[in-house]
Every structure is written in C-alpha cells, then in structure tokens.
Amino acid sequence: MSMERNYLYFQPEYVSKFKCDGAKCNARCCKNWTIDIDKATYEKYSALAAAQEIIPHIKFNSETNKYIVTLDEKNFCPMLTENNLCRLQRDYGEEFLSITCTSYPRHTYNFGKFFERSLTMTCPVAAELILFQEEPMKFKLVEVPEKVHSNSGKIQIGTFRIPEEYLSVFFEIQLAMISILQERRFSIDQRLIVLGLFLDKLQEMLSSETDRDTLLKLIEAYESEEFLMGEIAPLLRSFSLDAKNFIFLIMKFLDFTFDCLKSVEGKEFLETFVEVMKIKPDEKSTLNVAEFSAHYESLTNEREKFLEKYSTILENYLVNELFMYSYPWRFKEENMSRNFAVFLISYKIFELIIFSATQKGLDSKDDILKLVDWFAAKTNHNKSLYDRFFELLKGIDDIFLIMNCLLRG
C-alpha cells in the first residue's frame, strides 16, 4: 500500500487556526461575488434528488465557459440557510462544494519546490485572525497531506512565476522583507523606507549578476541589528516628508481609486474621508492642493496618535498583503521598484481611509473588519485600478523620490 504524499508549505500560523463561520461573518464570501461552479460539481448537482431546487440557480456563461451561481434578490448565494451556512454542505457534505467554495478564503501558490498558503482579508473571520494578533505574525514550514493540499482537486493552486535570477534566494528574500516590516523599533513609515532601501540594493545587485553568496550576505545584513541600528537608522533622517509633495503625489491616484471604491458597503468610509481630510476627490478641477496639504499638516498630532495606537493592525495588514501577493513580484510585467511603488501607494491610501474612519468614531473591531473587507474586495482583484496606477507612475521611476514624498523617516 502506497503512502499518501506530503507537500511542503510555507504559511502563516493563522492558516491552521482558520475555521469558516458563516453565521459570524454574515456570509460575506457569498454576497456580491461571482461564484464559479466547475463542470464536475455541476454534474454532481444535476444527479442529486434535489437537482430541481439547485440547477435553476446555476447558469452557463458562454463567454467565460463557466457555470455561475445566480445570486438572490439580496445578492446572496441562494444555497444559504437562515444561519448563513451552506445548505449543500449541510445536507451532502463538504465533498459537494465547488472548487471556488472549497478554496475561499485561501490563496495557494506553487513555487516549484514548495507551496505557500495564506488567507484573504475579504473574509472577516480570516481578517480578525490576521489583524488583531498582538505578537508579530509567525510563519512556519509544514508538511501538508494530499487530502488537504488539493482536496481531491478542489483547491485552486496558482503558479507564481518568479524571475529566474531571484529563485535561488526567493525564500530568504521573503523572510528578510517580513523581518523588516516587523521591526517594531521603527515606525511603520521607517520600516517601509528600510524595505525600499533593501529592494533597491537587491535589484541593483541582481542586475549586475551578483552570485548567491553575496546576495545572502546582503539579506543577512538587513536582518542584523548592528546593520539596521548602526548604518540604516541614520539614513532615515534624510526622509523628511513634505505635506505638499505627499498630497501632490497621492492626489494623482485618489480620483480613480475612489471611483473603484464607491459602493453601498463603503459609503460611510468614503464620507468620513471627505469630511476628515476636507477633500472631494470627484471635484479635482476645484481642488486647492495648498489648502489640502495645509489641512493634512494640521492633522499631524492626530495622525501620530493613530499610527501609535493602530501600528500592530497596520503591520499585520502590510505583512499579509506582501506575503499573499508575493510583492515585489505581484505584477510580473513590471520591475521590482514599480511593484514596490504600487504596494506603497495602495497602502498609503488605505492608511488615510482607516485614519479618517477612526477619527469619526468608526473604530470598533467590527468597523475595522468591515472597512478592510470593503477595501480589499474593491481593490485586490481590480486589474483596471492597478493598470491605472502603473500608467500614472510613468516618468516617476525613482523609488527614492516616491519614498521621499510618501514616508517620514
């Protein structure tokens, strides 16, 4: 008898703690989402005695060549019970779930010799596990059996194409980036500056075809307290954020972002942003950048208090985004610096929105989970948003210029 195969996974510890709770999250994974049904699952549903109750809710989309669940009048999956649990799973077992429903909220990627798995924050149960842990997010290498790895082929596993020159040190680079973002003796902005410095040096060395041992020495340096506190810390003083530069740059990206964020779920968060920041992004023709930057500067004390109070949540958010999307290689057609620029700009817009919300009393755990759910759902899979970001970045390829505009050392 052959032994079941095991697969090597690198993942945050929270992944093993996750358990779906539709009642707790109000089944947000099913609301307003496109729910794909694979052909094998559709055929399995067709053979059920209750097929006449299920099949009418599934339509075939000839353009995508997929079966799609038709949501009900409230934009929920029609298979939900009154307790927001899946009726199909309840009545027939987990093996009757589609690939989409079995996978969510997991993100699994194949990196050749190992796999990585994390959870998306559009799931509030996952987001609570991720954001509200006080200790730095921990990662571990685990062996995953076949029945969990693919669940009989019902787990979606993507392939992340890392450039050849990075493959030999990819794992070590990830560990170094996570370590930098979790260096709590630095502020969030300072950690992002250090990360930018690290990536700039890394890209420079790889461009000159530096050997693996030299690359590993660079990585070890950025994980070294002596190097960080002795050589890097003094460099941070040269990054002195100017409010006018910050507003001028961020405004280039806000208009289009707000168009993408508009929804019933996010209405109150956009309203608090407009109120707190005293800006109306859809009225750019009348925007006075000088007045807006002066107002932003006047909020310095409030922003510093916010960053101190919510630093753990912001850290966990950044670490999860970086790991889940394999920054700075998320967008394979763009170089490392431009990937990092988009990571930085996206985060700064998120930071401004969550700052504004907390200033207006939307600061409970439920408020923050709702905000993160809405922001992630509207931005994470929005290709047109990121295409626009890269378009706006044309002519601004200097990562040090971007960091000087957005980050305070």
Residue 178 lies in a domain: yes
Residue 189 lies in a domain: no
**Are 124 and 207 in a shared domain?**
no
**Are 293 and 359 in a shared domain?**
yes
**Are 125 and 264 in a shared domain?**
no
Residues 40-85 have pLDDT tens digits of: 888 888 888 777 888 888 888 887 778 888 888 877 888 888 777 7
Tokens of 398: 């200097």
Instruction: Quickly count helices (H) and strands (E) in the chain.
Output: 22, 8
Residues 29-38 have pLDDT tens digits of: 666 667 888 8
Q: What total number of domains does the chain contain? A: 3
Residues 38-48 have pLDDT tens digits of: 888 888 888 88
Residue with tokens 């009393």: 361
Q: Quote the CA–CA distance of 330 and 325 in Å, as a whole number.
A: 6
Residue closest to 272 by CA, chosen among 345, 347, 353, 366: 353
Residue 1 lies in a domain: no
Q: Please state, rounded to an integer, the average pLDDT across all residues of the chain.
A: 88
Domain encompassing residue 78: 6-159
**Are 205 and 268 in a shared domain?**
no
- Domain end position, chosen among 235, 267, 294: 235
Q: Is residue 111 predicted with pLDDT exceeding 50?
A: yes
Average pLDDT over residues 134-141: 96
Name residues whose C-beta falls within 8 Å of residue 46's C-beta, 6 or more positions apart in sequence.
55
SS3 of 113, please? coil
**Are 301 and 379 in a shared domain?**
yes
**Are 205 and 312 in a shared domain?**
no
Name residues whose C-beta falls within 8 Å of residue 194's C-beta, 6 or more positions apart in sequence.
180, 183, 186, 222, 228, 232, 236
Average pLDDT over residues 142-167: 81
Residue 127 lies in a domain: yes
**Are 10 and 153 in a shared domain?**
yes
**Are 201 and 84 in a shared domain?**
no
**Are 270 and 141 in a shared domain?**
no
Residues 202-222 have pLDDT tens digits of: 999 988 888 889 999 999 999
Q: Quote the CA–CA distance of 18 and 21 in Å, as a whole number.
A: 9
Residue closest to 176 by CA, chosen among 162, 166, 189: 166
Average pLDDT over residues 175-200: 96
Q: Is residue 259 predicted with pLDDT exceeding 60?
A: yes
**Cis peptide preceding 12, ω within 30 of 0:** no
**Are 207 and 118 in a shared domain?**
no
Q: Is residue 285 predicted with pLDDT exceeding 80?
A: no
What pLDDT shows up at residue 286?
53
Q: Is residue 7 predicted with pLDDT exceeding 50?
A: yes
**Are 302 and 373 in a shared domain?**
yes
What pLDDT shows up at residue 194?
97
Residue 301 lies in a domain: yes
Tell me the pLDDT band of 136, cut-offs 50, 70 and 90. Answer: very high
What pLDDT shows up at residue 273?
93
**Are 311 and 351 in a shared domain?**
yes
